[in-house]
A and B are shown apart, each in its own frame.
Chain A
């Protein structure tokens, strides 16, 4: 098991290096001279040359890349043009809020998908199956920013039940109830696509497994329903886990739109603000951070996969 985990982590290194190369490449695509972003219009050519040498921009590109990579390894993601603070600090401060939002939205999505997916696989002609059909196809077709605006229009403006923006009521002390009221609408928005994808996967996995011989054997043996479901659930877990891991990416990507609509103070909002203000170091830092996170989560999922499914570990042992 440990060997499998070590092998997966090792595969991570070239991917992460590739990610840094792509982001460094993006860096070069920014139109205009980086020095212009930092200096006033009346700066003398001598000032510009000085700053260029100071930032190392006069050196060849590969040198610049390795210096930049070295800085990344030391936790130096650069400084925000606008906020004049270290990018990593800004990201880490807001990341906790994104994590809260994604956990809420993801949990909501997975619970709904499991309940409806399993019910619809067990009772293919029930209302639950109809609902699974509708959720499966509309979940992946609904624009989440539109749903967010409709939710605000209905629950915040018309009914006045829930707040439309922010993470807590201004001026009040922190309370769980207040956070819960603020998180409901953003969590629904961010989890929407995931509900659609996951419902389809859960349903397909369960429907497929319920037809298999081992289920028939269990029935013939006289196992109770709960025990059969437990067997099926264990076998359905690997594909569900894989898709759930990939969905983290869609949750993180969706957080930019969701957080900007609901003014949720997370990484997505940080990046959205950086985009509108052309604060390039923050955009780069954000995408680096999120992709590192996404890749690591997927490795974690693969390792978990190996824990749940012994066949994966064995196939690897055969290969190496």
Chain B
């Protein structure tokens, strides 16, 4: 692992090549050096860097939303309804109830980002665990887990999430739950493939013969070696997750009405589209660039970790 990273880093420039040239492969330095290489490689990709910075700014904005706007995202002024972009006092305009769109965007980022990130995080934990266990043990355990998850591939993902949310009931939590269920099978499959490769490595055999139990082998040897393919795959799901979450909200299966959320903003703005044809621009644009940023960052992470 380390050797491969060094080889890759060497021709890329003096900055990356200098430290490994001085001290060859000291085990104690392995972890910090690897991280530095990853981040510097990630940031060499301009698109990924810009995406990362945008997403960090968005998260900070969402946390300090009440500092960033004087308006209440829930309370509108009926006399200032449907103001265009650039209207005095409302630089992104107002919605059909006279609420400031910037205020709703920045407050809505809290829910939209949670709805996009939480299912991927939960799906990675659960799917990753299922996949590692079935890949490491193989045999009947693998067959049982994987055949069960195969069934979920039969459902088109979006439709499954929609039907599930429609049946269990609406709300942010059930929406996250439904999407987590959708993400578990593909993540488990990636984790299974990766863990299977590792399970046949000599160092795992060595650990087994020296008497280590399966749990300690999984945590000490398998986990760190399957981490990067799972991380890469999970990062490619973030953009999809953003779109799916806002799509479910748009259909009215996410948050309940007054709460600001980007997909749901489009749902309520669509009713006045025949009066103001472009009023849906701003919330959708934020869904688009955030999903785009997740996708570009995901591509960057994949290239930086050199995984496919």
C-alpha spacing A26/B163, complex, angstroms: 9
**B155 at the binding interface (Cβ < 8 Å):** yes
Closest to B285 in A: A146
Q: Are the C-beta atoms of A295 and B154 separated by less than 8 Å?
A: yes
**B219 at the binding interface (Cβ < 8 Å):** no
Q: Which 8 A-B pairs have the closest CB atoms?
A: A146-B284, A253-B158, A18-B151, A153-B277, A249-B156, A253-B156, A157-B277, A141-B292
**B-contact 0/1 string along A83-112, CB 8 Å cutoff:** 000000000000000000000000000000
Residues on A with beta carbons closer than 8 Å to the beta carbon of B4? none
12 contacts between A and B (CB under 8 A): A18-B154, A29-B168, A137-B296, A140-B240, A141-B288, A143-B291, A152-B273, A249-B157, A254-B158, A256-B162, A275-B253, A291-B156
**B160 at the binding interface (Cβ < 8 Å):** yes
Q: In the complex, which residues 246-305 of chain A have their Cβ closer than 8 Å to any Cβ of chain B?
A: 249-250, 252-254, 256-257, 260-261, 271-272, 274-276, 280, 283-284, 286-287, 290-291, 294-295
**B interface vs A, CB < 8 Å?**
147-148, 150-152, 154-160, 162-164, 166-169, 239-240, 243, 246-247, 250-253, 263, 266, 269-270, 273-274, 277-281, 283-285, 287-288, 291-292, 294-296, 299
Number of interface residues of A (CB under 8 A): 51
Q: Number of A-B pairs whose CB atoms are under 8 Å?
A: 145
Q: Are the C-beta atoms of A26 and B167 separated by less than 8 Å?
A: yes
**A175 at the binding interface (Cβ < 8 Å):** no
Known A-B contacts A141-B239, A141-B291, A280-B167; A21 and B151 likewise in contact (beta carbons under 8 Å): yes
Q: Are the C-beta atoms of B295 and A137 separated by less than 8 Å?
A: yes
Q: Chain A's interface: helix, strand, loop or mixed, by majority?
A: helix
**A145 at the binding interface (Cβ < 8 Å):** yes
Q: Are the C-beta atoms of B154 and A15 separated by less than 8 Å?
A: yes
**A30 at the binding interface (Cβ < 8 Å):** yes
Q: Are the C-beta atoms of B278 and A153 separated by less than 8 Å?
A: yes
Q: Are the C-beta atoms of A145 and B154 separated by less than 8 Å?
A: no
Q: In the complex, which residues 62-95 of chain A have their Cβ closer than 8 Å to any Cβ of chain B?
A: none
Q: Are the C-beta atoms of B295 and A141 separated by less than 8 Å?
A: yes
C-alpha spacing A283/B250, complex, angstroms: 18
C-alpha spacing A14/B279, complex, angstroms: 49
Residues on B with beta carbons closer than 8 Å to the beta carbon of A252? 156, 159
Known A-B contacts A137-B296, A150-B281, A154-B277; A143 and B150 likewise in contact (beta carbons under 8 Å): no
Residues on A with beta carbons closer than 8 Å to the beta carbon of B277? 152-154, 157-158
